[in-house]
A = this chain, B = another copy of it.
Amino acid sequence: MSVFTPVPESVLADWLTHYAIGRLVELKGISAGVQNSNFFVTTTLGRYVLTLFEDTPRAELPYYLHLMAHLARHGLPVPAPIANRDNEYLGTLQDRPAVLVVRLSGDSIMSPGTTHCARIGAMLAGLHLAGQSYGRRQENPRGAAWRAATAQAVRSFLPAGEQALLDAEVAFQASVDTAALPAGAIHADLFRDNVLWDVDDTGDAHVGGVIDFYFAGYDALLFDVAVTVNDWCAAPDGTLDAARCAALLEAYHAERPFTDAERAAWPAMLRAAAFRFWMSRAADFHLPRPGEMVLVKNPDEYRDILRLRAAGVPPLP
């Protein structure tokens, strides 16, 4: 279930006069959001997505919106925020921070093959390369400090075996030095459901959109690669598929070659990325915030992926 702040059509029609995108034709709620209220908005001049932010502090939003604008400006298929007639991206609607973005086309592919993984690897490298010239900086909101703090918060809710796994991982991650890793703006949540694919007449699928930048932040680029590989290249049992891993990593490497420091840190990064989603899901499960109605995902999936990655991973190219 998603949180939805209702937006009456008359209220939106009035709000749209602050923009230069014509008049409201259709407003439709999107049920897929897990954090924000999202709507498809069709006007006389185009198709857009409206997001009302339910939880994210307003001060953190410009980082995300300007990052999306920066990446779109560099030619990448991300939802560019729309400026209003005062040249501002961020507005207020129904007492919430609100933004309109370009509506991208395509659908998610939940069973990707090696070709899809290669295209995602190249796209992720493109995002990282374009992000290098992004001037703002905001720490990864699910970075090392958050992971360590969340581990302490959820620890007591876990059975003894999971506490041992958690303690071992916290100790291991504390020993990892990431200072030598290339860093920059990362998406940090590039799961399969955050990518839209356009399928052409020949059945060939191209990335039509990379969406949901609201976990983005400044961190090691390799952490983003690890998050992506853990989702796109895993078999249903969580083990890594060698062919899909190779396809994604080779395509990334062709655009932005991995460094020796990254090769050394790769096993630790895959574990850190798995740990991040185990911890966030465990926190959503054991420590739900009052009034919040989010889709709680099973924490066990990423607990198991963490165990599997700790047992060994294929090397970087």
Contacts and interface: CB of A to CB of B under 8 A. Distances in A.
Given A122-B44, A126-B45, A19 B83 contact: no
Interface string A262-275: 00000000000000
A96 B73 CA distance: 22
A132 interface: yes
A315 interface: no
A22 B207 CA distance: 12
A130 interface: yes
Nearest to A75: B82
A100 interface: yes
A133 B76 contact: no
Interface in A29-60: 44-46, 48
Given A45-B207, A86-B133, A133-B86, A75 B126 contact: no
Contacts of A117: none
Nearest to A21: B75
A20 interface: yes
Given A85-B132, A133-B85, A133-B86, A126 B74 contact: no
B77 A73 contact: no
Contacts of A207: 45
A313 interface: no
A123 B46 CA distance: 10
A100 B23 CA distance: 31
Nearest to A48: B75
Contact of A254 (B23, B72, B85, B130): B23
Contacts of A90: none
A255 interface: yes
Given A82-B73, A82-B75, A102-B75, A45 B133 contact: no
A119 interface: yes
A20 B256 CA distance: 10
A80 interface: yes
Contact of A76 (B45, B75, B127): B45
B75 A129 contact: no
Contact of A21 (B22, B84, B126): B126
Interface string A82-95: 11111100000000
A69 interface: yes
A206 B25 CA distance: 13
A50 to B, nearest CB: 12
Interface in A205-257: 206-207, 251, 254-255
Given A19-B75, A46-B206, A74-B85, 19 more contacts: A20-B74, A20-B126, A20-B127, A21-B74, A21-B75, A21-B76, A21-B126, A22-B122, A23-B122, A23-B254, A44-B119, A45-B123, A45-B207, A46-B77, A69-B73, A74-B84, A80-B80, A83-B133, A85-B129
